[in-house]
Amino acid sequence: MLAIDTNLVVRFLTGDHRSQSAKVKALIARETVFVATTVLLEVEWVLRSVYKFGAPKIQDRLTAFIGLPNVVLEDAARVAAALDAMAGGLDFADALHLAAAENCEAFLSFDRGLAKAAAAMGGIPVRAP
């Protein structure tokens, strides 16, 4: 198994660089690749901030990518939960934070928007310290 970096996932998802995108698509077609959660976190940030993708487009692209047979995630359950939470209004990073804290009593943050969105979805409570 080969671990891949953010730039490979971005090339795969955007097709923005013809030769690099083709190499990555061929690689993923023939090899099993490991994708760390931190790589996906960075991919989401790049797609949102550099490529100006909206949350629904990011969610669709990442969901399709992680469903590929040769893609192995560091923590598939948490990533899937975070992608589902994006539909409820959370950004991917906050959703990953909450998914990682699922066995905790509460998630502490000064972010009132996060607390409100998390409360609407149920799950771990978000409150100020």
Query: Is 6 inside any structural domain?
Result: yes
**Tally of structural domains, the chain:** 1
Query: Is 90 inside any structural domain?
Result: no
Query: Is 13 inside any structural domain?
Result: yes
Return the H-helix or E-strand segment holding 113.
helix 112-121
- Residues 32, 72: Cα–Cα separation, whole Å: 7
- Going by their DSSP bridges, the two strands 2-3 and 126-127 should be labelled as unpaired
- Residues 87, 19: Cα–Cα separation, whole Å: 33
Pick the closest to residue 77 from 59, 58, 94, 100 (CA basis): 100
- pLDDT above 90 coverage of the chain, percent: 81
* Confidence (pLDDT) at 22: 97
Phi/psi at 111 (5° precision): -80, 100
Task: Taking each helix axis as running N to C, give the angle between helix 37-49 and helix 6-14, from 0 to 180 degrees, rounded to the nearest 10.
Answer: 50
pLDDT, tens only, 56-104: 999 999 999 999 999 999 999 999 999 988 888 888 999 999 999 989 9
Q: H-type helices in 1-111, by residue range?
A: 6-14, 18-30, 37-49, 55-66, 76-87, 92-100
Query: Is 14 inside any structural domain?
Result: yes
Query: Is 94 inside any structural domain?
Result: no
Query: Is 17 inside any structural domain?
Result: yes
Query: Is 118 inside any structural domain?
Result: no
In the structure, what pLDDT confidence band is assigned to residue 118 with cuts at 50, 70 and 90? confident
pLDDT at residue 27 greater than cutoff 90: yes
- Residue 19 lies in domain: 2-74
Query: Is 32 inside any structural domain?
Result: yes
